[in-house]
A and B are shown apart, each in its own frame.
Chain A
Amino acid sequence: MDFYELHTRSAFSFLSSGSMPEALAIRAAELNIKGVALLDRDTVSGAVRFHIEAKTQGIKAIIGSEITMDDGSLLPLIPLNLKGYQNLCRLITTIKLRAKKGEHFATRRDIEEHSEGLICITGGSDGFLHKSIKNKQGQENLAWLNYVFEKRLYVELQRHFLRSEENINQHLLALSHKLHVPFFASNGAFYGNQYDRELFDVFTCIKNHVTIENAGKILSENSERFLKSKSEMLQLFTDYPEAVEITNEIGSQIDFSMDELGYTFPDFPVPEGETMDSMLRKLAERGAIWRYDGLTPKILAKLDHELNLIVKLKLAGYFLLVWDISEFCRNNGIMSQGRGSAANSVVCYALGITAVDPIAGELLFERFLSEERSEYPDIDIDLPSGDDRELVIQYVYKKYGSRGAGMTANVITYRGRSAIREVGKVFGFESDELSKISKLISPFGATNPEELIERLKEVGINPNENFRIAKFMEMYARILDFPRHLGQHSGGMVISLGRLDGVVPLEPASMENRNIVQWDKDDCAEMGIVKVDLLGLGMMAVLRDTLTLISENRGETVDLAKIPKDDPLVYKTLQDADTIGMFQVESRAQIAFLPKSKPENFYDLVVQVAIIRPGPIVGKMLSAYIKRRQGKEEVEYMHPSLEPILKRTLGVPLFQEQLLKMAMTIADFTGGEAEELRRALGYKRADVKLKMISERLKSGMTKNGIDLQIQEQITNSIVAFANYGFPESHAASFALLTYASAYLKVHYLDAFTAAMLNNYPLGFYSPATLVKDAQRHGLKFHPLDINKSDYYFTIEPKFSVRVGLRYVKGLRKQVGEMIVEERNQNGKYLNIQQLIDRVPLINKKEIRALSLSGALSFESVHRRQALWQAELAIKPNGKLFQEITNNQHDFSFIKKMDELETIETDLMTTGLSVGKHPMAFIREELKRKNVLSASQTLNLKKKDVVSVAGAVIVKQRPGSAHKVLFITMEDETGYSNFIVMPDVFDKFRNVIMQNSYLLIKGIAEEGNMIKGLYFESINDFMAKVVSHDFH
């Protein structure tokens, strides 16, 4: 007889288990356990991972959940069949959606209403029956469970070598005999093996906000809650072996697997006499006429091919749903653009979902959809971030119901600094100690524990000499990647026919009016659940606002669909890398690459967007492309048959579509195999699958007589894309936005800058840098003024903009808008008292912030005087303040801020300054010391030894750069770029990381890049200036 462990808990019970679901499955297989029931608390978040791993390990995965009851106890439920699973999901959804986050519970009625198809087990020490026995209601409550679940109820016995358990077990056995409810044995496992008890204890401390030293008896009594084999269980229950044997009977009758999950995509409602297929065809044909000047046979054939395939795959409903969302956007003036592989489809283009013409772009439809494919296609829609996107999301909820649609979850895991902080608190480290250790964690990405140990040694802490630190480090390493909580995916929505809550439970997101499903996007993909990504894109909002500002201030209507596609000024600006604020081409790496690649047309931009990615960099495609682009290297193809595929990218494979075509051409892959290859490339849990595909690829190439060496080369270039594959269609969609943003910046700088600043945060640079960049391009900025500024940046005459109240730190939006509204209705504010009287909501801190930011400079009163006046105006009422009223106009003790102080204050109170660049104040001094300005670094010769000073605006250490750090500094003349090798960085780590203004000595390299060799902080007053640092 086999043994089933029918009660385990994984890390997805959040802070209540020491093992991941996969680890439980692996351990169960090692112990030869037939099947394991994963019963996470009020969730099935770990179910998919568990199911997949269990399948791999050849054990039966039983999915259930422990349900929190109204008395705080837990009632474990296990689906016997699909109906039971649906009921479980609906039960969890019901209790989660009706309560505030973290305050949910099930009533008896909930249990009764959802009991069909579910097995109930009575649980462990925190279980419903245990609590009932303690309250002397054991018999009564077991009778109730027996009534609800009839023959599907089992009394659970657990033994962990604890004295306290025996008493309750005797009670349980007595009740079992009395009410004729069968009993079984489980170990109520909280972790796979004993060692993980430590992690469980750490989680207990995190959950209860206590240190491990002070945790006392909330910690486990021993380490016995691990998965045990049948023989171990029989030893524990020598007096009741039947309790172990019966698990086989219970486990065998469970007839539900996640594989049979009945997900169906919703039908789309169509008018009478139409089918979804016919409606889609009509809409697509009508759309094609709108999109193309004339319908050529090529277009018609392509359209027909796609529609036939869509009909065959029964996907018309999906396309209609996405079309419906796009229509909603169009009808409500919301800018939207489909991206991703959908841009390969003529149907999507015709339906107005995407904006890229796949025929003109020679895009590969198979990348989007193929007959062999077993899953739904993936359509991403970019929307302006903020209110517009929320409108669309709420439209979907309204249309499909709050239980028919949900955002996909994002499993937030313990990483870097958060892991240090949480584990550090458990080990009793003080906050200053923790911040010291946290600082050793790289802000540039994950720091592995070995690296952290080295860093600790550098600051004089040797974990090997201190057991507490050693253990802390060990636990830090072990907690990494464990789930911390469920967050919300940036845009993925899943929708289901009927009720989505029958497929996966939904729960409220922290944002109001949003529900999330308990699975992340990979889980959804594994389960074949279709997802529509409604992604918020800051740049879309910028484009929208720029067009509005142009229309309002210049009376011009700019239609992005009709702007010239080959504007020389746009390409000249791109070639000069003057791209700050432009979508996807403003990063330090892009700025370094643009003068070399010199894009001349739209396809060059498509390449530009795709090439500065880790994949091409690691795969050495970037350098090959540049050399070929500059004519320094012959265009060669790895194999002659690849020429038609790689010609547009000069023989360098850059796009996933190219790789698909390559596989189909050189290794005789079918569309389906090529599709599987694509999925393996894009899927993060792909290692094993990818290896298998690589082997198939090589065997295909061998069959076609391709040399082993070439095979290796081709395979490597494909594998380089494993984690970073970028689709051409996606790049094309992005390139449209790049071009649009460049066009608007070049021709309508005032509107574009205002829109950028009004939609901040977005992009790569701080508001201060955006302002300085615009100033260098001739745009004037007017300072904040309570009587002139709106809440947002506004355009003023003579090519100028005015800073908006939005930038006053600490000023609530509601108050900012009220200030403007009141002024528009009743005229200017004459003094601070008026402001307080007319905007009653304004508080002390806001008045202070406004005065200090310079917004309250009435009647030539300077900002410090305004602040002092404000202090009088905002004094509390009461006798204590009524005593003295004379002598209030002597401000002789208040000195006016000098120019630098004003800039410092601007940066401190608004994060930007319209005055001179702080570096300008020490320029003369720097000149005397032969320190160069940024503009002087543009004409350096290779190997020139130079000193440059500036404000650090970017520090970046890309994963692909082998720990090389890139720094960009800004001064009043522009930007200077530095590369810092790892050994130099280690030497100057503190100076580099802790200062906002640096003097860097180094040697000039190619492409205006300086290799930094020596770093020092510039003088103290610069250090005081609030940094508009990188983010």
Chain B
Amino acid sequence: MSKLFACIISNDENRAELISVAKQFAYRIETLGDGIVFDVSGLEKLVGNAEQIAEAIKNQLIEHDIFGSVAVNLHLNSAILLARQTFNVGGKSSAVSSFSKLPLRTLEINRDTLGVFEALGISRIEELQQIPTDQLISRYGQGFREIIDAVNEADKRSLKPNLKENRVSWKYELDEPVTNYEQLVFLFNRGLDAVFESSKSYGFSTEHLDICFGLVDKTEKIYEIKTSFPTLEKNFWLKLINLRISFETPEAEIISLGVTLHFAKSRPVQTALYAAPKPTPESLLLTANKLKKLLGEENVGVPVLLDQRLAEAFMLDAEKLPIGKESKVTAVEIEQPIIAFSYFKPPITAQVLIRDKRLIYLKTDRFRGRVEQYSGVWKANSRWWNVVWRTNEWDVEIENGGVYRLCKRDSDWFVVGEYD
């Protein structure tokens, strides 16, 4: 049966919306930088010919209020190129009726070569198709074959669905209930072939398979089989499955069987024998999540210094996790001692006694005292091109107390933090 592919090109940033349109027509969907492409093979009977399928997709786009162009073609690449071209001419699908009419610039031909073709008066794919392949190859090398294949719609590109799942499954319903598991080995063989092939196409291996038997008593028997290393070696897995099931055979007759392959996770790499391993991500995540639960999602994260002139040039990155000890800057690298400073959130309202233009006494709800020493005023301001900010600050040491940062906004005084 011939294949049929549809492509939507859109600058709509909401990819989810685009995918939801595609999902109405296909389950195999690949997202592109500028749109999506999906397999609509088999829809001919349901919807109609390619044009009618395109029309149906277009209607869905309109319904979802998405501006985009649609093309349906027997070839994946051609569908993409057609949709892109239609999009470039303002989404008017009538501008290009067939692939061969497409301008050459839709192909990925380098600019110089494209210039030569244009100078030769060859500006459309159909004109390039007229040039003998050997003449093209002898001038532009075997590397040009990809273009020739694209032009002749003979490219081998296959759809690469973008996965959100981390597993693939296979399932088989038996015609008759089976008691002897060994009778099913050939079926397992087929099932493993299917999931391994699928897994390979996504570039994953596995270290975890689930074998599931549907039993005649309507229960399920699930075997979770894990290895300490990822592999797609079928015989190895078959042996493990055999071994496991032979130890723990199902309690009733089997009426269905399934295999679920879990993709192996990427592992942190230990770069040297004595290199300190990074903290276990799981436990760190756990701690962070516990804190988030207590304090709120947005209030837990990693403090990040900002390279900005701001009154408080740092932020909390709630998406990040703390890095391990080994990444900390060592004291040797710091030229001058760093004085730690704690910000009060919110700043504490203060009263300040001034005499002869000198700060004399500081009073807040939490602390108070005669000013022993102070420095300042320290002035900072920036973002004059947007929302201007400015601060006037003093560093104040109070009698029998700490050293605080005092700030004046309009006529109000605040203590914004304390030096450790």
- Interface membership of chain B positions 308-326, coded 1 if the CB is closer than 8 angstroms to chain A and 0 otherwise: 1100010000000000000
The proximity string for A residues 7-41 relative to B, scoring 1 for CB distances below 8 Å and 0 otherwise, is 00000000000000000000000000000000000
Minimal beta-carbon separation of B133 from chain A (angstroms): 8
Asked whether B397 is an interface residue with its Cβ less than 8 Å from the other chain, the reply is no
A250 to B313, CA, bound (A): 41
Is B131's CB within 8 Å of the partner chain A? yes
1/0 contact trace for A833-860 toward B, CB 8 Å?
Answer: 0000000000011001000100000000
Contacting pair B379 A161 (CB below 8 A): yes
Q: A161-B377, A848-B116, A894-B120 are in contact. Are A219 and B309 (CB under 8 A)?
A: yes
Q: 19 extra interchain contacts, Cβ-Cβ under 8 A, other than A844-B112, A871-B140, A888-B138?
A: A161-B376, A161-B378, A162-B379, A217-B307, A219-B382, A220-B382, A224-B379, A467-B386, A471-B385, A848-B112, A864-B121, A867-B116, A868-B120, A875-B140, A876-B141, A880-B143, A881-B142, A893-B132, A905-B119
B141 near A880: Cβ-Cβ < 8 Å: yes
* Structural contact, A216 and B308, CB atoms closer than 8 A: yes
Contact of B132 among A160, A845, A887, A895 (CB under 8 A): A887
Scoring B residues 107 to 134 as 1 if CB is less than 8 Å from chain A, else 0, what string do you get?
A: 0000010011001111000010011111
* In the complex with contacts A216-B308, A217-B307, A871-B380 CB distance below 8 A: no
Pairwise interchain contact A890-B132, C-beta atoms closer than 8 A? yes
CB-based nearest B residue for A868: B120
- Residue-wise interface mask of A (886-916) relative to B, using a CB-CB cutoff of 8 A (1 in contact, 0 not): 1110100111010001000100000000000
A253 an interface residue at 8 Å Cβ cutoff?
no
Instruction: Give every chain B residue within 8 A of A798 (Cβ-Cβ).
Output: none
Bound form: Cα–Cα A760–B307 in Å = 51
Chain A nearest CB from B232 CB (Å) reads 34
Note all chain B residues with C-beta closer than 8 A to A197.
384
Q: Is B135 engaged at the interface, CB distance under 8 Å to the other chain? A: yes
Does B375 sit at the interface, judged by CB under 8 A? yes
Query: Are B134 and A887 within 8 A (Cβ)?
Result: yes
- Check if B353 is an interface residue, CB within 8 A of chain A: no
Interface-centre pick from A198, A220, A222, A867 (highest chain B CB count, 10 A): A222
Which A residues lie within 8 Å of B121 (CB)? 864, 894-895, 897, 901
Q: Give Cα A161 to B122, complex, Å.
A: 69
> What residues on A are CB-neighbors of B342 within 8 Å?
none
Q: Which residue of B lies closest to A891 (CB)?
A: B135
Contact with B along A86-114 (1 / 0, CB 8 A): 00000000000000000000000000000
Contact mask for chain A residues 169-213; partner B; CB cutoff 8 A; 1 contact, 0 none: 000000000000000000000000000011001000000000010
Report how far A221 CA is from B382 CA in the complex, Å.
7
The verdict on A881 contacting B141 (CB below 8 Å), with A163-B395, A216-B309, A887-B134 known, is yes
Contact B138 A883 (CB under 8 A): yes
> What is the bound-complex CA distance between A897 and B122, given in angstroms?
12
A300 interfacial contact with B, CB 8 Å: no
CA distance A198 to B313 in the complex (A): 20
| Least distance between A868 CB and chain B CB atoms (Å) | 6
| B32 proximal to A (CB < 8 A) | no
Contact between A887 and B135, CB atoms less than 8 A apart? yes
Please determine whether A893 and B127 come into contact, CB atoms closer than 8 angstroms. Answer: yes
1/0 per residue A773-802: CB within 8 Å of B?
Answer: 000000000000000000000000000000
How far is it, in angstroms, between the C-alpha of A886 and the C-alpha of B138 when the chains are bound? 9
A884 to B377, CA, bound (A): 81
Instruction: Provide the residues of chain A in CB contact with B306, threshold 8 Å.
Output: 216
> Residues 275-296 of chain B: 1 if any A CB is under 8 Å from the residue's CB, otherwise 0?
0000000000000000000000
A427 an interface residue at 8 Å Cβ cutoff?
A: yes
**B139 in the interface (beta carbon within 8 A):** yes
**Is the Cβ of B141 less than 8 Å from the Cβ of A166?**
no
Is B381 interfacial (CB 8 A cutoff)? Answer: yes
Given contacts A878-B141, A880-B142, contact A867 B119 (CB under 8 A): yes
A321-368: which have CB < 8 Å to B?
none
Interface majority SS (helix, strand, loop, mixed), chain B = mixed
- Bits for B337-380, please: 1 = Cβ < 8 Å to A, else 0: 00000000000000000000000000000000000000111111
CA distance A566 to B37 in the complex (A): 80
Indicate if the CB atoms of A223 and B119 lie closer than 8 Å: no
Asked if residues A217 and B138 are in contact (CB atoms below 8 Å), the reply is no
Judge whether B141 and A198 touch: CB under 8 Å: no
Chain B residue nearest in CB terms to A845: B112
What B residues does A223 contact at CB under 8 A? 381
The yes or no answer to B184 lying at the interface (CB within 8 A) is: no
Q: Is B163 in the interface zone, CB < 8 Å from A? A: no
Cα(A572)–Cα(B335), bound, Å: 84
- B137: interface (CB < 8 Å): yes
Interface centre among B120, B335, B378 (most CB of A within 10 A): B120
Report chain B residues within 8 Å CB of A220. Answer: 309, 382
Encode contact with B along A426-443: 1 for CB under 8 Å, 0 otherwise.
010000000000000000
Interface size on B, residues (CB 8 A): 40
> With a CB–CB cut-off of 8 A, which chain A residues contact B142?
880-881, 883
Q: A161-B379, A901-B121 are in contact. Are A427 and B138 (CB under 8 A)?
A: no
Does A296 lie at the interface of the complex (its beta carbon under 8 Å from any beta carbon of B)? no
Provide the bound-state CA to CA distance between A870 and B375, in Å.
78
Whether, in the assembled complex, A885 has its beta carbon less than 8 Å from a beta carbon of chain B, the answer is yes
Measuring CB to CB, which residues of chain B are less than 8 angstroms from any residue of chain A? 112, 115-116, 119-122, 127, 130-135, 137-143, 306-309, 313, 335, 375-382, 384-386, 390, 395
Assembled-state Cα–Cα distance A421/B104 (Å):
33
| Interface residue ranges, A against B (CB under 8 Å) | 134, 160-163, 166, 197-198, 201, 212, 216-217, 219-224, 427, 467-468, 471, 844-845, 848, 852, 864, 867-868, 871-872, 875-876, 878, 880-881, 883-888, 890, 893-895, 897, 901, 905
The 8 Å CB contact of A872, one of B139, B380, B382, is: B139
Contact A222 B141 (CB under 8 A): no
In contact, B138 and A885 (Cβ under 8 angstroms): yes
A216 to B306, alpha carbons, bound, how many Å? 8
Contact A427 B119 (CB under 8 A): no
Q: B119 and A871: CB pair below 8 A?
A: no
Chain B residues with CB under 8 A of A901: 121
The answer to whether A867 and B120 touch (CB under 8 A), given A216-B307, A467-B386, A875-B141, is yes
The verdict on A883 contacting B382 (CB below 8 Å), with A867-B116, A893-B131, A901-B121 known, is: no
Expressed in whole angstroms, the minimum distance between the Cβ of A893 and any Cβ of chain B is 4
Query: Is B309's CB under 8 angstroms from A852's CB?
Result: no
Q: Assuming the A-B contacts A427-B385, A887-B134, are A222 and B379 also in contact, with contact meaning beta carbons closer than 8 angstroms in the complex?
A: yes
The one of A864, A872, A885 that contacts B120, using a Cβ cutoff of 8 Å = A864
Docked complex Cα distance between A890 and B141 (Å) = 19
Residues of B contacting A876 in the complex (Cβ-Cβ under 8 angstroms): 141
A-B contact pairs, 22 of them (CB 8 A): A162-B378, A163-B376, A163-B378, A216-B306, A216-B307, A217-B313, A221-B380, A471-B386, A845-B112, A848-B116, A864-B121, A871-B140, A872-B138, A875-B139, A881-B139, A883-B137, A884-B134, A887-B132, A888-B138, A893-B130, A893-B132, A894-B120
Nearest A residue to B390 via CB reads A222
Determine the distance from Cα of A969 to Cα of B131 in the docked complex, in whole angstroms.
Answer: 41
Residue of A nearest to B393 (CB): A163
CA distance A890 to B335 in the complex (A): 75
Q: How far apart sit A609 and B180, CA to CA, in the bound complex (Å)?
A: 112
Can you list the 3 inter-chain pairs with the closest CB atoms, starting with the nearest? A216-B307, A884-B134, A161-B379
Which residues does chain A contribute within 8 Å of B335, judged by CB atoms?
A: 134
Q: How far is the CB of A271 from chain B (nearest CB, A)?
A: 64
B380: which A residues are within 8 A, CB to CB? Answer: 221-222
Which residues on A sit within 8 Å (CB–CB) of B308? 216-217
Query: Within the assembled complex, what's the spacing in Å between the Cα atoms of A897 and B120?
Result: 9
Chain B residues whose C-beta falls within 8 Å of the C-beta of A881 in the assembled complex: 137-139, 141-142
- The answer for the CA separation of A219 and B335 in the assembled complex, in Å, is 23
B307 near A884 with CB under 8 A, answer no
Q: How far is the CA of A83 from the CA of B366 in the complex (A)?
A: 65
CB distance from B352 to the nearest CB of A (A): 18
B139–A871 CB distance below 8 A:
yes
- Measured CA separation A201–B383 after assembly (Å): 10
Write the nearest CB–CB distance from A793 to chain B, whole angstroms: 25
Residue of A nearest to B313 (CB): A217
